[in-house]
Structure 1
Amino acid sequence: MQVRDYCIKTATPDDLDGARSVMLDTVYRDFGTGYVPRWHRDIVDLDHAYVAPARHTLLVAVDERDGTVVATGALDSRGPAHPPNPRHLAERYPSGETAQLRRVYVRPGHRRRGLARQLVDELLNFAAADGGYRSVYLHTDPAVPGAEAFWRSLGKAVLDEREEPGGGQRIVHFEVPLP
């Protein structure tokens, strides 16, 4: 898929270091958490998490001007785990039947160009082509500028933990329709 000046494609082994760099920069800069193994273990081994499994995928957006990876998007067949997520979400979105969108990140200098939307469209097409997914789930940190509005434009919030007693993890959970 082509977005002006960018090539969106399935990641190859040559793209993994660039994808990992986008992801790690995002968790340090945008999330402010840095690398936390229980949350970010997949980033270290992208091949095992997204490239090798048949029902998973990792997409990258490559800037054609210099060949660098500037955005990522991943999908796997793992539903939200309980804990840390509420039990009713884990039951509603079971592993194997749920395509979970993950790591949809765009470097700041490349935002507002349609890359995230195009990555998500391609991930949704991948999920639909699989034939075994009955739903698409994701969660986002609403503290990241633009994240909540972006996901609300594509799906519906199924749980906003900020509205729960104590605020939960303060994340918002979404379902996005399959094409």
Structure 2
Amino acid sequence: MRDYCIRTATPDDVDGARSVMLDTVYRDFGTGYVPRWHRDIIDLHGAYVAPVRHTLLVAVDPRDGTVAATAALDARGPAHPPNPRHVAERYPSGETAQLRRVYVRPEDRRQGLARRLVAGLLDFAVADGGYRSAYLHTDPSVPGAEAFWRSLGKAVHDEREEPGGGQGIIHFEVPLP
């Protein structure tokens, strides 16, 4: 097992992080880049690096220094719409650490990177002192995503159970340490 370096992204990591994210939305999600969903990927610095209460973490492969995995956190709660009103009200902006873009390149999976990155995000949220909860949503059609998040948190709403299936998204709360 390689000893990946987990760290806050530097300006030199941004292009590699963007590559991991774009590869994921094209390969794993099958949607490609959709501006209303993925705008933050294009401006990682503005979305996660520059804002004080936001962060972008990367896992760097020790063999060649490339970004193998990403994870981000911001202070924006889920918006309604498109998310259910009760979910948006439960996780208000400013008080909610929203976990985003936890992506691992296929060749680097099964190394514990996502779990280590999420632990780093949660530590960041606790150190901030202003977050009362950690929230995320995931697409259960992505292989392994639902099981991974269920191992770390609690599903608070499954849109597949709504009439018509909603967006098919599962909303999770992950306990802060």
Under a length normalisation based on structure 2, what TM-score does the superposition of the two structures give? 0.99
Alignment pair present for 1:173 and 2:174? no
Q: Which residue is 2:139 aligned to?
A: 141
Q: Which residue is 1:29 aligned to?
A: 27
- Number of matched residues? 177
Distance in 2 (CA, whole Å) between partners of 1:123 and 1:61 is 12
Residue-by-residue CA offset, 1:82-118 (whole Å, 9 max, x unaligned): 1100111111000000000000000000001000000
Deviation of residue 158 (structure 1)?
0.2
Deviation of residue 4 (structure 1)?
3.6
Distance in 2 (CA, whole Å) between partners of 1:81 and 1:161 is 15
Alignment map for 1:100-111 (pairs within 5 Å): 100-111=98-109
Aligned Cα root-mean-square deviation (Å): 0.8
Alignment map for 1:1-179 (pairs within 5 Å): 4-179=2-177
Distance in 2 (CA, whole Å) between partners of 1:64 and 1:113 is 13
Letter in 2 for 1:99: A
Letter in 2 for 1:7: C
Is contact 1:62–1:69 with CA below 8 Å preserved after alignment? yes
Letter in 2 for 1:91: E
Deviation of residue 5 (structure 1)?
2.5
Residue-by-residue CA offset, 1:51-91 (whole Å, 9 max, x unaligned): 00000000000001011001000000000001100111111
Distance in 1 (CA, whole Å) between partners of 2:119 and 2:47 is 20
Is contact 1:58–1:73 with CA below 8 Å preserved after alignment? yes
Letter in 1 for 2:155: A
Q: Equivalent residue of 1:28, what SS? A: helix
Is contact 2:94–2:131 with CA below 8 Å preserved after alignment? yes
Distance in 2 (CA, whole Å) between partners of 1:158 and 1:176 is 10
Letter in 2 for 1:41: R
Distance in 2 (CA, whole Å) between partners of 1:17 and 1:169 is 30
Is contact 1:5–1:65 with CA below 8 Å preserved after alignment? no
Is contact 1:77–1:95 with CA below 8 Å preserved after alignment? yes
Specify every segment of 5 or more residues in structure 2 that has no aligned partner in the other structure, as ranges.
none
Distance in 1 (CA, whole Å) between partners of 2:109 and 2:72 is 18
Deviation of residue 152 (structure 1)?
0.1
Letter in 1 for 2:174: V
Q: Equivalent residue of 1:66, what SS? A: coil
Under a length normalisation based on structure 1, what TM-score does the superposition of the two structures give? 0.98
